[in-house]
Amino acid sequence: MLKIFNTLSGKKEEFTPIEAGKVKMYVCGITVYDYCHIGHARAMISFDIITRFLRHIGYDLNFVRNITDVDDKIIKRAEENGETTTALTERMIAAMHEDEIALGNKLPDLEPKATEFMQQIIDMIQVLVDKGFAYQGTTGDVYYRASKFSEYGKLNNRKLEEMLAGARIEVEAAKEHAADFVLWKPAKEGEVSWDSPWGKGRPGWHIECSAMSTHCLGNHFDIHGGGPDLKFPHHENEIAQSEAATSEQYVNYWMHCGAVRVNNEKMSKSLGNFFTIREVLEQFNPEVVRYLMVSSQYRSSIDYSDSSLKDAKTALERLYTALRGQEIASSFTATEFTTRFEDAMRDDFNTPVALSVMFELVRELNKARAENNVVAPEMAAELKSLAEVLGLLYQDPEYFMQNSTVSGGLSAEDIEDYIAERAQARQDKNFARSDEIRDLLSEQGITLLDSREGTTWTRD
C-alpha cells in the first residue's frame, strides 16, 4: 500500500489511481528567464524520485511538467539582453536540461510550453467567460471571479475572506473584487502577443497550467505537484479555473516539496545567499548535491550549507567505498533489505529511512567482503538496485572517490604522477621522500590508501 500526504486533505492517504495500474501526474515547471537555482533542484530531484519509485513498483506513469516561456520576467530579461524572448527561453531551456541531467534526473514524458498551447488557453478562458466565471475589465484585462467559485481556498483550508485579511493585494479599478486574478492581459507596444476575442495579448500565469495539464492528462487526473510557494495563489487558482471550466474534480492528490534554506535563512538574492545549480556544481560533484536533497524527506525543508554538503559527500563516500573494487553480480534475489526499503518509500516516499536501510546493507556487505563470502557480489547488486530508485551510485566508484569535490586542487594526472614517484621512492628505500609526497598530497586534500593491490586515493 502506497501512502501519499495530500495537501488537499492535510493528511496521508492511501493512493488509489483513477485507472488501475496507471498514474497521471503533472508538476509545475520553471519560468525560463534565468539559470535554475538550488530551490529548483529540490523540486526537480523530489519529483524525479517520486517518478522513479512509482515506476519501480509497477505503475505505468505519464509524467508531465510544463515550461512557462511567456511571462513579464521573460519579456523584461529579453529586453535587457537585447534578444528575442524565443532566443532567451530556448537558451534557458537547454541550460535547465543540462543542469537536470547533471543532477541525475530523468526528463519528463512531456514538457508542454505555454506558447504552444495558446489556443487551448484562449478556449478555456472563453468557457469561463461564457459560464460567468470570468469578465473583461475596463482596462482590457480578463479576470477570474474568485468569489463565484464557492470552494475557493480549499487547498489551503482557508476561506476567501481569511486569505485576503491582512494581505497586501492591489485593488485595481478594473476588478470587481480584490481576489480576482488575471486570465488574459493586453499586450504593450512591441511585446509578444496573440490574437484573442479580447484583443491582442497574452495569458496570465495561472491559466497556462490549467489548460496544459487538462489537455495533456484530461480534466481529472491523479497527482499535481510543485514547490511550497505554489500552494497559494497559483495552485488555488488552478483548482478554481479548472473545476469551473470542466465541472469536474481537477486533481485527487496534491503534493508539495519542502523549501531550501541557506545557512538557516530563506534563500534570496537580496541576502546574497542565492546560488544557481551551475555555481554549486563548480564546487561539488552533482551526486553529492543530489544526496543532500535525498537525505531529507521531500516535504521537509533542507538547510543548504558547505557543512551539509560535506556531510552528504562523506555519507555518499561510505556507499561508494562498499562498492570500490567489489564484483557486482548481474542478478540477485531480493532480501529483507529490499522489502524494508520499499516499505519506507511506500510511506510517503520516506527517503531518510530508505537510506538507513541501504547503510545497513552496506555494513553487511562490508562484513561479507572481509570474509570473502560468495554472497558479496549479490549484496552489491542489491545495493545498486536500491540506489537506482533514488538516482544514486550511478558513477564508477573509483571515479567518484577521486572527484567528489571538483573545484581546484591537483588534477588526477598530477596525483597519479606523485603516487608513481612515491612508489619508486619506497622501492629505492627513500622513505623520507615517500613521506614528503604523502604529506604534500595531504596538504592538497588528498588521502592515500595503501593495500596489497597498490595505492588508491580520495579527495578529502
Residues tagged in the binding site annotation: 28, 209, 234, 238, 269
What is the Cα–Cα distance from 315 to 311, expressed in whole angstroms? 6
Q: Which of 140, 117, 238, 237 is closest to 187 using CA atoms?
A: 140
**∠428-429-430 over CA atoms, to 5°?**
90
HEC profile of 334-372: CCHHHHHHHHHHHECCCHHHHHHHHHHHHHHHHHHHHCC
Burial of 37 (0-12, 13-18, 19+ CB in 10 A): buried
Give the span between the Cα atoms of 459 and 404, in whole angstroms. Answer: 7
Task: Report d(CA 317, CA 321) in Å as an integer.
Answer: 6
Beta bridge partners of 61: 23
Burial, 28: exposed, middle or buried (Cβ in 10 Å; 0-12, 13-18, 19+)? buried
Binding-site residue positions for ATP: 269
8 A C-beta contact, residue 280 and residue 38: yes
CA 256/CA 36 separation, integer angstroms = 18
- Distances from the Cα of 200 to the Cαs of 60, 120, 137, 190, 426, in angstroms? 41, 16, 15, 11, 79
Q: Which residue has the cell 564546487?
A: 283
Residues 6+ apart with CB under 8 A from 261: 267, 301, 302, 303, 304
As annotated, the binding site for Zn(2+) includes 28, 209, 234, 238
